[in-house]
Structures are given as structure tokens and as C-alpha cells.
Amino acid sequence: MYARRRRTYFVMMGTCIALFVLAWAVVRLWSVPAAIGMCLVAMVIPPAAAMFANRRGPEDRWWDDPSGDPKSDEWWDELDGRKRH
């Protein structure tokens, strides 16, 4: 669960940094409007990365850690469909 979230976030943020650096190091030499467009796309990526990388998957729980109470955790696992009695 956490590996998927981290990988998604770092790929998106790496894309953001690459767009920004390429826009002003390479693309601006040929087209300033294209470089500005690339920066505008890069500007939208960080909030999207936070939303997409932190969304709950179908196998994820609503919380990260068990509560520590075995009865409560067993009850929630049953509700989540993880353990069938």
C-alpha cells in the first residue's frame, strides 16, 4: 500500500521537475510560449500527485494502523470482509 503511494507520488513529482527543467533549459531556446505551457502543466502536477498518490485503494483500510484492541480489530476485519466467521 505505501510502496504504491510513494512510487506514484515520486513518479508524478519527477515528471513535474523534469518538465520545469526542460522547459527553461531546452524548450525556451526554440519557443517561450511552449516553455510557459510546460510550466503551467508542471504547476498542476503537485496537487494532482497529492490526490492520486493518497487515494484509498480497494484493498486499503480507512485507517493505517489497527486500534490495538483485538476484539475491535476482529470486528472491523469482519466488516471489511477480511475474515469470515
39 and 22, same structural domain? Answer: yes
Q: What is the DSSP letter of 55?
A: S
Residues 76 and 43 in one domain: no
Q: What is the pLDDT of residue 20?
A: 95
- 82 has pLDDT over 60: yes
Looking at the fold, whether 43 and 68 belong to one and the same domain comes out as: no
Q: Between vectors from CA 44 to CA 2 and to CA 64, what angle results, nearest 5°?
A: 20
Is pLDDT larger for residue 76 or for residue 63? 76
**Separation of CA 51 from chain center:** 6
Same domain flag for 9 and 25: yes
Same domain, 20 and 49: yes
Do 50 and 82 fall into the same domain? no
Helix, strand, coil shares of the chain, percent, nearest 5, are: 70, 0, 30
- 33 with 72, same domain: the answer is no
Per-residue model confidence (pLDDT) at position 63: 59
Given this model, what pLDDT does residue 68 score?
72
Q: Residue 67 is part of which domain span? A: 61-85
Please count the structural domains in the chain: 2
